[in-house]
Amino acid sequence: SLPIPNQPGTAFLYNSGATYMLSAIVQKVTGQKLIEYLQPRLFQPLGIEAVSWESCPCGINSGGWGLKIQTEGLAKFGLLYLQKGKWNGRQLLPAEWVNEATSFKIQQPASDLEKAKKESDWHQGYCYQFWRCRHNAYRGDGAFGQFTIVLPEQDAVLAITSETTSMQGELDVVWEHLLPAMKDSVLPARRGSQAELREKLRSLALLPSKANPSSPLVARISGKEYKIQSNDACARSVTLEFRMGSCTFSLRDDQGEYHVNCGIERWLDGETAMPGTPPKLTQGKLPPISKVAASGTWKDENTFEMTWRFYETPHHDTVTCRFEGDKLRVEYLDSITQMSAGRKDKRPPLEGQMAG
């Protein structure tokens, strides 16, 4: 029902709502959700498993966002397009469609277009759901730096999953470092390079925050229930239970009780159904259980700070518990809010009093 102010094809407008409508059309025509329709036609042939997609209240996959897929799956999708729609000898997509979908369709506007064309990968032209890049490449492009970059001239595909405020900076690194290293001929063998790569990958780590592993408060507050004042999240109580090297944060609301198990200054893997997690841009429905790696540290004697990393997404939460006498204040800061000026975490701070 939205008005269309310009003749189609005459003005660029990045519009995820239009992609949602494509998903709705597929569902109406086939009787299947988009994710169901794609299972035998795309995901299964490419060996992409454990895929999920957000749905709207009408039960339609959101189409333009909300797809959860492994980085390897993004690489396979890019390789399918690099190979002109062919996979293991089977033509999954017509080659003509691949060419059509990835060619320049419309120019994005800019105040200084010639300058933008030299410096920006968002001003190289738009295709059918693909962006053109500099260096005659094209890409699938998602929020915070989720990329599938296809470089036909180099016979290469790059898949990147990340959380960044500088998506252009991310692409600049590709053009500055990776592109020049790609050669027309086979690179000469170098003894030990594979072992060096394996060691480098093993050494990469996202370290937990460290300040103080304990506080004199622990003996008094551990396992104590804090009754929460009336709040928009309908939270009723919070408990932090400290054990050897870990802490369990528990929240009870009108619907039930939820837990996150944190290592003390170390990551502890687990799952949680904690309301409001993981962070996301939209209100679409997600699976109720999320995998999480969590750690906590005492910033000072009265402040326990937890980091919850939802490692099947780019995002994380910082949850701060401040104790004063018999009172507790819990504050949330998700990573999307942290990166975005003017946004506020949707979860209200919780104010509590130690029970009995």
DSSP-assigned states of every residue in 131-178:
EE-GGG-EEEEETTTEEEEEEGGGTEEEEE----S-HHHHHHHIIIII
Residue/partner pairs of 169-178 with CB below 8 Å, 24 or more apart: 170/145, 171/121, 171/133, 171/147, 174/149, 175/134, 175/135
In angstroms, rounded to a whole number, what is the distance separating the alpha carbons of residues 249 and 228?
Answer: 14
Q: Which residue has the higher pLDDT, 109 or 2?
A: 109
Q: What is the pLDDT of residue 187?
A: 83
Q: What is the pLDDT of residue 281?
A: 73
In angstroms, rounded to a whole number, what is the distance separating the alpha carbons of residues 163 and 278?
Answer: 14
Q: Which residue has the higher pLDDT, 298 or 57?
A: 298
E strands, the chain, in order: 52-53, 67-68, 86-87, 90-91, 131-132, 138-142, 146-151, 156-160, 225-228, 235-243, 246-253, 257-264, 268-272, 290-300, 303-309, 316-324, 327-334, 350-354
Residue 85: pLDDT over 90: yes
Lowest mean pLDDT among 7-16, 209-218, 230-239, 281-290: 281-290
Q: Return the bridge partners of 304, or none.
A: 298, 321
In angstroms, rounded to a whole number, what is the distance separating the alpha carbons of residues 192 and 198?
Answer: 10
Lowest mean pLDDT among 113-117, 151-155, 270-274, 336-340: 336-340
In angstroms, rounded to a whole number, what is the distance separating the alpha carbons of residues 337 and 344?
Answer: 6
- Using CA atoms, how far residue 222 sits from 88, 226, 246, in Å, is 57, 11, 11
Mean pLDDT of the region 224-250: 96
Average pLDDT value over all residues in the chain: 94
Q: What is the pLDDT of residue 285?
A: 63
Confidence class of residue 283 from pLDDT cuts 50, 70 and 90?
Answer: low
| Close Cβ partners of 175 (under 8 Å, ≥ 6 residues apart) | 134, 135
In the numeric block, the tokens 């409508």 are attached to 21
Confidence class of residue 284 from pLDDT cuts 50, 70 and 90?
Answer: low
In the numeric block, the tokens 């009172």 are attached to 327
Residue 169: pLDDT over 70: yes
Q: Are 239 and 224 in contact (CB under 8 A)?
A: yes
Mean pLDDT of the region 278-286: 72
Q: Are 147 and 137 in contact (CB under 8 A)?
A: no
The DSSP element (H or E) to which 18 belongs, if any, is helix 16-30
Highest mean predicted confidence (pLDDT) among 63-67, 174-178, 338-342, 346-350: 174-178
Q: Are 260 and 321 in contact (CB under 8 A)?
A: no
**What percent of the chain clears pLDDT 90, i.e. is strictly above it?**
86
In angstroms, rounded to a whole number, what is the distance separating the alpha carbons of residues 284 and 186?
Answer: 46
Mean pLDDT of the region 307-333: 96
**Amino acid letter, residue 346:** K
Q: What is the pLDDT of residue 286?
A: 62
State the pairing for strand pair 246-253/235-243.
antiparallel
Confidence class of residue 4 from pLDDT cuts 50, 70 and 90?
Answer: confident
CB atoms near residue 259 (< 10 Å): 15
CB atoms near residue 290 (< 10 Å): 19
Q: Which residue has the higher pLDDT, 190 or 354?
A: 354
In angstroms, rounded to a whole number, what is the distance separating the alpha carbons of residues 30 and 34?
Answer: 9
Q: Return the bridge partners of 159, or none.
A: 148
Confidence class of residue 186 from pLDDT cuts 50, 70 and 90?
Answer: confident
**Residue 138 corresponds to which tokens in the numbers above?**
């094209």
Residue 137: pLDDT over 70: yes
Q: What is the pLDDT of residue 262?
A: 98
Q: Which residue has the higher pLDDT, 2 or 170?
A: 170
Q: Are 260 and 307 in contact (CB under 8 A)?
A: no
Mean pLDDT of the region 207-220: 97
**pLDDT tens digits for range 5-29:** 999 889 999 989 999 999 999 999 9
Residue 299 has phi, psi (to 5 degrees) of -70, -35
Q: What is the reported pTM? A: 0.89
CA angle (14, 9, 102) in 5-degree steps: 70
At 181 the three-state DSSP class reads: helix
Q: What is the pLDDT of residue 291?
A: 95
CA angle (104, 89, 128) in 5-degree steps: 20
In angstroms, rounded to a whole number, what is the distance separating the alpha carbons of residues 127 and 93?
Answer: 17
Q: What is the pLDDT of residue 287?
A: 65
At 10 the three-state DSSP class reads: coil
Q: What is the pLDDT of residue 325?
A: 96
Residue 238: pLDDT over 90: yes
Confidence class of residue 2 from pLDDT cuts 50, 70 and 90?
Answer: confident
